[in-house]
Structure 1
Amino acid sequence: MPRPELIETRERFVFFGTQSTRWKDNDAWGHVNNAVYNSWIDTAITNHLWSVFPEFGSSQVIPVAAETKVTFHAPICHPAQIVTGFRVEHLGNSSMRCCVGVFEGTQTTASAWGHMVHVWIDRQTNQSVQIPGAIREELRKAELRLA
């Protein structure tokens, strides 16, 4: 399997959060199962959205996942403290792509990283809508201008 050209590091993320591994996260090979990384990435994005959009749960306009991708670089084994780095890579009219790096403890190189594309929809009609202005402004604060 070819190694990724770019390995994500902490300085490429804007906001950080912590999560912990659980015994049940380990798989038969003794490291955290790949599905758990998707959960960590989803949780990091959701936590950030809740922090900038507290009425998220009752809003008429919500983001729904349209795409997810994870790249693995190094295994993590339980027990471990996980730090997730968050950034917004793209803000479209009605969609956004957020990237999350998964770091073990204080390591500066990500063990894995991934992105999720969310489309904002009207909860009633399931039709895509523009990202609300106030939320867009908050999400812009998480954009990292990468060279």
Structure 2
Amino acid sequence: MKERKVITRGELKTFVPITTRWMDNDVYGHVNNVNYYSFFDTAVNQNLIDMGMLDIANSSAVGLVVETGCTYSASVSFPDKLEVGFKVAHLGTSSVRYELGLFKQGETTAAAQGHFVHVYVDRETRRPVPIPAELKAKLAQLVV
């Protein structure tokens, strides 16, 4: 297997704290892999809400996840305090690709790293639409 580079905090633009829960641990005593995707999704959407760019009940354009992936470097478990850092790796007309790292609080290298792609669609028709201009300008600040 080819050795891969583990992402570090310095490669990312913004961070969101994540709290592990008792139920996140599996029978092997660590956070189950499926939860990492939830952590990534939560961090990006929380950031969009904090920037005033996502109203989950009323935004006319919404980002749907169309692709995701994750690789793991170290275990995390409850009650670890975590942070998800991310950057925008690609900003297109209707899509944005995020690259993310999941860090134990205070660690410089990621326990897991991944990506996901949002495609913006009209809330009603679910057809792709351009990323709203104000949102695109804010996302551009996260491009590395």
TM-score of the aligned structures, taking structure 1 as reference length:
0.92
Aligned length: 143
Are 1:129 and 2:129 counterparts? yes
Matched residue of 1:139: which SS? helix
Compute the displacement of 1:55 (Å).
Answer: 3.1
Alpha-carbon distance in 2 for matches of 1:75, 1:124: 40
Q: Deviations over 1:10-67 (max 9, x none)?
A: 0011111111111111111111100111110010111111122143430111111101
For the aligned residues, what is the CA RMSD? 1.2
Deviation at 1:119, TM superposition (A): 0.5
Structure 2 partner of 1:32: 31
> What residue in structure 2 maps to residue 14 of structure 1?
13
Secondary structure of the 1:58 match is coil
Q: CA deviation at 1:3?
A: 5.4
Aligned partners of 1:51, 1:15: CA distance in 2, in Å?
Answer: 12
Contact 1:44–1:100 under 8 Å retained in 2:
no
Matches of 2:126 and 2:97 in 1, distance apart?
A: 19
- Name stretches of at least 5 consecutive residues in structure 2 with no aligned partner: none
Q: Which stretches of structure 1, 4 residues or longer, exceed 6 Å deviation after superposition? A: none
The CA distance in 1 between the partners of 2:77 and 2:59, in whole Å, is 38
Structure 1: any 5+ residue segments left out of the alignment? Answer: none
How high is the sequence identity, in percent, across the aligned residues?
37
